[in-house]
């Protein structure tokens, strides 16, 4: 019989319901019997001891909240009786003893990637078209319309065909009920055209709302982010459109590119609209130069590379009460495996590290890194408070509904994505990863802003866990969607790539799932598997304005 409750850490004083538990139902965990006082929905927690008003709530072995009122044994934890609380943290002596996982299974293993001049290796081969400022967004869209379909990068038109069929019925005099309920064709998609440049995975057009009108700090950060994408191993070259008078100056972009790649040698075309003059002249020049760049990009082919050349971003979104016990620790083990092989991983979302700061500080290899992490967290938290918010407000309504009722509960589970390896480096947005091992990157908890930042810092694949479901993707890096529970995987199989509900069901260990995920990553990195976010063209890109964003 499969267990219906779980204690995550030996020090915890709460249990997690793995299935719905009815009021007055008896459940047993390791010889102890509990009678639940009320309905405990799956993923939610109940007290295994009486917790008095003001008493500490412990989960994952850390303080995650305090009782607002007495919580009896078997009582449901909710926003009515529990509030956010987390332990303070100090920098000091680190404890970096680490039990490396067995990596013999992957000895000599390679992936087929695109080798760049700076020694990095891409998991894809894209051309970028980017604006320095929002004023150029329309021109970016004009170029997209002019180039995507003729180059053979148009996506399938399933929904356009469905809409056309319904419009035809309306023109023929159909009634409203016929439009609403008549069955129409299924998946009659047109295939995209043959690619003119078979070795180029796509041409990606980024738009944003920055570059001018905000703070100079935000414009500089935007230049750094764009430089991260232009120098990214998954990018062969770029076309950049500048208006000419914006805060995000071309010279700043070039400085940021030089910081990340001092010997930068990719084709890069920068056009200034105010200098060029007529829009027609700008567009014609941009098309000519972009096509010339694509001809150069097409010369790259996939070649074997060691797994140490992988940099994986670790992300979660639409989290649920199972995130911290299935998908997050599973990719945490994947992270440990890759770190043991000399690769790099990125753990971001600083508002979602609330309560586990001390653990990460203790894992820093250098005291200066620990101090920088502590300073970034404190500064970010202070700015949030000054803006009338705080990390305690991070959980979304969906998170709370699914059992993540305090930020510390959410954070303690989210941090599991980072595994157990030492912290090699601490980065502020939008700095580039330069060290193998676990890197901490300061970003918001917002899914797309954080994913955008991780890729800008060098992630050539992102592992994205979700308990509620989300389509999030990225223009240049495959985003692998991982379900925390089987019901979600089955319900949203068109956007979810991997299921770790097997861990909750007792059919697989965390380590087995982590190894399975790494095998999948190698295939994605080699171009053997197209993840759903790529197939759907889910090109989410949102730069972080350093004003508070949680």
Domain ranges of the chain: 5-84, 126-156+192-299, 304-536
The pLDDT assigned to 402 comes to: 72
Reply yes or no on whether the pLDDT at 395 is more than 90.
no
What DSSP designation does 15 have? E
The pLDDT assigned to 154 comes to: 87
Sign of CA dihedral 281, 283, 287, 289: positive
Alpha-helical regions (H) of 70-150: 137-147
Q: How far is CA 389 from the centre of its chain?
A: 23
- CATH number belonging to the domain at 5-84, selected among 3.40.640.10, 2.60.40.10, 3.30.1330.10, 2.30.130.110: 2.30.130.110
The pLDDT assigned to 297 comes to: 98
Inter-residue contact 141 to 205 (CB < 8 Å): yes
Instruction: Please check whether the domain covering 126-156+192-299 is classified as CATH 3.30.420.
Output: no
Greater confidence (444 vs 390) lies with 444
Two tokens at 188? 């009659």
Greater confidence (529 vs 193) lies with 529
Residues 6 or more apart in contact with residue 249 via CB below 8 angstroms: 132, 219, 223
Tens-place pLDDT, residues 105-153: 999 999 999 999 999 999 999 999 999 999 999 999 999 999 999 999 9
Burial class of residue 347 (count of CB atoms within 10 Å of its CB; 0-12, 13-18, 19+): buried
Cis (ω within 30 of 0) for the bond into 430?
yes
Greater confidence (458 vs 397) lies with 458
> Measuring CA to CA, how many Å separate 58 from each of 311, 363, 480?
33, 21, 31
The pLDDT assigned to 186 comes to: 62
Please tell me the number of Cα atoms within 13 Å of 77 on its side-chain side: 36
Closest CA to 408 of 6, 4, 14: 14
**190-194, 273-277, 508-512: which has the minimum mean pLDDT?**
190-194
**Rounded-to-10 torsion of CA 253, 254, 256, 258:** 170
Local structure of 261: helix, strand or coil: coil
473 vs 480: CA distance, rounded Å: 8
328 vs 504: CA distance, rounded Å: 12
> Over the range 222-244, which residues count as b (16 or more CB within 10 Å of their CB) and which as e?
bbbbbbbbbbbbbbbbbbbbbbe
Tens-place pLDDT, residues 324-352: 999 999 999 999 999 999 999 999 999 98
What DSSP designation does 308 have? G
Band (pLDDT 50/70/90 cuts) for residue 549 is very low
Tell me the percentage of the chain whose pLDDT exceeds 70: 96
Compute the chain's Rg from CA coordinates. Answer: 25
Mean pLDDT of all residues belonging to the chain: 93
Two tokens at 311? 């940099």
In the block, residue with structure tokens 């303070």 = 88
Band (pLDDT 50/70/90 cuts) for residue 156 is low
Mean pLDDT of 237-260: 97
Tens-place pLDDT, residues 14-45: 999 999 999 999 999 999 999 999 999 999 99
Helix axes 250-260, 216-230, angle to 10 degrees: 50
- Residue-by-residue DSSP string for 394-426: -S-HHHHHTT--SHHHHHHHHGGGG-SS-EEEE
Residues 6 or more apart in contact with residue 499 via CB below 8 angstroms: 482, 483, 486, 489
Local structure of 21: helix, strand or coil: strand
Two tokens at 145? 């319309």
Secondary structure string (H, E, C) spanning 471-492 = CCCCCCCCEEEEECCHHHHHHC
Residues 6 or more apart in contact with residue 194 via CB below 8 angstroms: 152
Tens-place pLDDT, residues 286-334: 999 999 999 999 999 999 999 999 999 999 999 999 999 999 999 999 9
Closest CA to 221 of 184, 181, 176, 252: 252
**123-127, 359-363, 404-408, 531-535: which has the minimum mean pLDDT?**
404-408
Reply yes or no on whether the pLDDT at 1 is more than 60.
no
Please tell me the number of Cα atoms within 13 Å of 157 on its side-chain side: 12
Reply yes or no on whether the pLDDT at 189 is more than 50.
no
274 vs 244: CA distance, rounded Å: 6
The pTM score is 0.93
Please tell me the number of Cα atoms within 13 Å of 363 on its side-chain side: 21
Closest CA to 294 of 192, 204, 191: 204
């Amino acid at each position: 019989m499969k267990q219906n409750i779980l204690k995550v850490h030996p020090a915890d004083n709460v249990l997690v319901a793995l299935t719905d538990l009815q009021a007055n139902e008896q459940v047993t965990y390791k010889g102890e019997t509990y009678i639940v006082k009320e309905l405990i929905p799956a993923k939610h927690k109940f007290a295994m001891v009486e917790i008095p008003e003001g008493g500490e709530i412990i989960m994952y072995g850390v303080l995650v909240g305090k009782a607002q009122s007495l919580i009896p044994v078997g009582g449901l934890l909710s926003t009515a009786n529990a509030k956010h609380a987390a332990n303070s943290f100090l920098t000091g002596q680190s404890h970096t003893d680490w039990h490396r996982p067995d990596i013999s299974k992957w000895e000599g293993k390679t992936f087929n990637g695109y080798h760049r001049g700076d020694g990095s290796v891409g998991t894809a081969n894209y051309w970028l078209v980017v604006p320095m400022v929002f004023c150029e967004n329309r021109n970016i869209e004009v170029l997209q319309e002019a180039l995507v379909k003729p180059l053979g990068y148009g996506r399938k038109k399933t929904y356009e065909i469905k809409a056309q069929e319904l419009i035809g019925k309306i023109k023929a005099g159909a009634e409203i009920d016929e439009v609403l309920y008549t069955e129409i064709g299924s998946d009659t998609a047109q295939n995209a055209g043959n690619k003119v440049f078979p070795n180029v995975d796509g041409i990606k057009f980024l738009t944003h709302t920055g570059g001018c009108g905000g703070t100079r700090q935000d414009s500089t950060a935007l230049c750094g982010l764009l430089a991260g994408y232009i120098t990214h191993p998954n990018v062969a070259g770029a076309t950049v459109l500048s208006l000419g008078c914006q805060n995000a100056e071309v010279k700043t972009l070039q400085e940021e590119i030089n910081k990340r790649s001092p010997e930068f040698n990719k084709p890069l075309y920068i056009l200034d609209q105010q200098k060029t003059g007529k829009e027609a002249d700008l567009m014609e020049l941009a098309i000519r130069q972009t096509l010339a760049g694509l001809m150069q990009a097409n010369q790259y082919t996939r070649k074997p590379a060691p797994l140490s050349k992988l940099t994986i971003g670790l992300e979660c979104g639409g989290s649920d009460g199972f995130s911290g016990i299935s998908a997050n620790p599973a990719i945490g083990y994947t992270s440990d495996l890759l770190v043991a092989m000399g690769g790099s991983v990125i753990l971001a979302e600083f508002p979602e590290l609330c309560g586990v700061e001390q653990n990460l500080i203790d894992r820093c290899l250098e005291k200066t890194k620990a101090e920088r992490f502590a300073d970034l967290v404190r500064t970010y938290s202070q700015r949030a408070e000054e803006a009338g918010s705080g990390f305690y407000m991070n959980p979304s309504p969906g998170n709370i509904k699914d059992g993540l009722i305090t930020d510390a509960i959410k954070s303690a589970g989210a941090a599991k994505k980072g595994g157990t390896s030492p912290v090699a480096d601490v980065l502020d947005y939008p700095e580039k990863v330069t060290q193998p091992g676990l890197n901490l990157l300061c970003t918001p908890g917002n899914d797309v802003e954080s994913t955008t930042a991780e890729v800008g810092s060098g992630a050539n694949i992102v592992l994205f866990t979700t308990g509620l479901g989300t389509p999030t993707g990225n223009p240049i890096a495959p985003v692998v969607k991982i379900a925390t529970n089987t019901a979600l995987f089955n319900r949203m199989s068109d956007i979810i790539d991997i299921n770790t509900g097997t861990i909750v069901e007792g059919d697989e260990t965390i380590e087995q799932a982590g190894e399975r995920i790494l095998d999948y990553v190698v295939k994605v990195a080699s171009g053997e598997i197209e993840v759903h976010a790529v197939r759907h063209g889910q090109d989410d890109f949102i730069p972080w304005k350093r004003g508070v964003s949680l």
